[in-house]
A and B are shown apart, each in its own frame.
Chain A
Amino acid sequence: MYSQGLIGAKTDTNEDEAFLAAFQARIDAEEKIEPNDPMPEGYRKTLVRQIGQHAHSEIVGMLPEGNWITRAPSLRRKAALLAKVQDEGGHGLYLYSAAETLGVSREEMTEELLSGKAKYSSIFNYPTQTWADIGAIGWLVDGAAIMNQIPLCRCSYGPYARAMIRVCKEESFHQRQGYEIMMTLARGTPEQKEMAQDALNRWWWPSLMMFGPHDGDSQHSDQSMKWKIKRFTNDELRQKFVDATVPQGEFIGLTFPDPDLKWNEEKGGYDFGAIDWDEFWRVVKGHGPMNRDRIAARQKAWDDGAWVREAVLAHAEKRNARREAAKMAAE
């Protein structure tokens, strides 16, 4: 989800050379940067953007899967899906906390998501049409997320790296439960296998887009690599994902919707066809099949929750006042 986190990030910074050189020396020495340490404004802004958009992706990512909780085919599947969706909510909260250490409030981030100023991963703007989509999301979408997130555990910003370690530990269950769903369908009736194949056909290309634009077209990649916010380029991670995933799909007898996909002995990896970048930018800019629904759902949750937020604060205030009064009376 997460190379896309840099979309819209501004890496410009205007500190003097000596300050930037001293900061770069700390980064090159693999020192972690902590919230109160001096840092270039561009570094801070890039991280606020990236961590915020990563958090939004986790929260919006609960919607396509939440769609199937009530229709899971068995109690076992339902319990696993509930646990997974709850994990995504938790991951969003770890990440919002990490972003808050950079001086941005939860409310500001929420407003930016709802106004469309902040993005979230393009993948969540596709609909979940069948139960097999839940398998494909776990296997492919969480698989791609893991590829992105493992190097983020070594990100130069301490709070982000620590949040990523927790996320990665939990994410592995997500991918395995997704693959198990796909495997069960692929080994089921011809109709079930067809359902699994159809889900792979629809989710394969959007999953490859999750790694973000090609290295040559990725504006902020160089500076982010230099600051060790990113450790691998978008294309490197995409290649790793393809190489890891294709044998898994073949093992369960599914085929990938790419006639150009073939093993390249020389490079020790798969060659694959051209990605439809027009579709990618269309979805990022708000014109995917589900963009409006997703934001409408988040807006509704925010609005419907307003009275709860007000009530809990009023209740806390009342309790504090009573406590104070009791203390005064006792003195």
Chain B
Amino acid sequence: MSKNQIPLWEVFIRPRNGLAHKHCGSVHAADEVMALQAARDVYTRRGEGTSIWVVPSSAITASDPENKDENFEPAMSKVYRHPTFYEIPEEVGHM
């Protein structure tokens, strides 16, 4: 067994013009050219996309699930950031 493992790439696909690229899975490939080809074969066999990005998995920095509370909880208590927090008389109409 070779010690060199073939690198992992994350695959992002734009389903239609006008939409953002969305993560859909991963592939192993030696370089970016082969990663794009593999991503096309594995993830777009039925017209799922019009554009593909591949990114080395090792290049992604992710937030730590252990810090979920300190990262995201503060937003939960700030209800005044949402439009429904403010009461506007009905007579004013849609705002």
Interface residues on A, range: 20 to 34
Given A34-B65, A37-B65, A94-B42 in contact, is the A316-B2 Cβ separation under 8 Å? no
Q: Is B8 an interface residue (CB 8 A)?
A: yes
Q: Is B20 an interface residue (CB 8 A)?
A: no
Alpha-carbon separation in the docked complex, A97 to B65 (Å): 21
Would A312 and B45 count as touching, CB distance under 8 A?
Answer: no
Q: Is B59 an interface residue (CB 8 A)?
A: no
Alpha-carbon separation in the docked complex, A278 to B45 (Å): 40
- Per the 8 Å Cβ criterion, residues 75-121 of A in contact with B are 83, 86-87, 90, 93-94, 97, 100, 105-107, 111
Chain A residues whose CB sits within 8 angstroms of the CB of B54 once the complex forms = none
Q: Which of B28, B29, B41 contacts A90 (CB 8 A)?
A: B41
Query: Which single residue of chain A is at the shortest CB-CB distance from B25?
Result: A97
Would A170 and B42 count as touching, CB distance under 8 A?
Answer: no
Q: Is A36 an interface residue (CB 8 A)?
A: yes
Chain A residues whose CB sits within 8 angstroms of the CB of B65 once the complex forms = 34, 36-37
Would A319 and B1 count as touching, CB distance under 8 A?
Answer: no
Alpha-carbon separation in the docked complex, A161 to B11 (Å): 18
Q: Which of B26, B27, B31, B45 contacts A316 (CB 8 A)?
A: B31
Taking the closest CB of chain B, its distance from the CB of A94, in whole angstroms, is 6
Query: Which single residue of chain B is at the shortest CB-CB distance from A163?
Result: B25
Alpha-carbon separation in the docked complex, A90 to B38 (Å): 10
Would A319 and B31 count as touching, CB distance under 8 A?
Answer: yes
Q: Is A191 an interface residue (CB 8 A)?
A: no
Q: Is A313 an interface residue (CB 8 A)?
A: yes
Would A316 and B5 count as touching, CB distance under 8 A?
Answer: no
- Per the 8 Å Cβ criterion, residues 43-95 of B in contact with A are 45-46, 62, 64-65
Q: Is A327 an interface residue (CB 8 A)?
A: no
Would A312 and B28 count as touching, CB distance under 8 A?
Answer: no
Would A312 and B2 count as touching, CB distance under 8 A?
Answer: no
Would A306 and B42 count as touching, CB distance under 8 A?
Answer: no
Alpha-carbon separation in the docked complex, A312 to B7 (Å): 11
Q: Scoring B residues 4 to 41 as 1 if CB is less than 8 Å from chain A, else 0, what string do you get? A: 11101000000000000000011111110010000001
Given A86-B45, A90-B42, A316-B31 in contact, is the A97-B26 Cβ separation under 8 Å? yes
Chain A residues whose CB sits within 8 angstroms of the CB of B29 once the complex forms = 312
Interface residues of B (CB under 8 A from A): 1-2, 4-6, 8, 25-31, 34, 41-42, 45-46, 62, 64-65
Between-chain CB contacts (< 8 Å), 19 pairs: A36-B62, A86-B45, A90-B42, A93-B27, A93-B42, A94-B25, A94-B42, A97-B26, A100-B8, A111-B1, A170-B46, A306-B2, A310-B2, A312-B29, A312-B34, A313-B4, A316-B30, A316-B31, A319-B31
Interface residues of A (CB under 8 A from B): 34, 36-37, 83, 86-87, 90, 93-94, 97, 100, 105-107, 111, 163, 170, 306, 309-310, 312-313, 315-316, 319
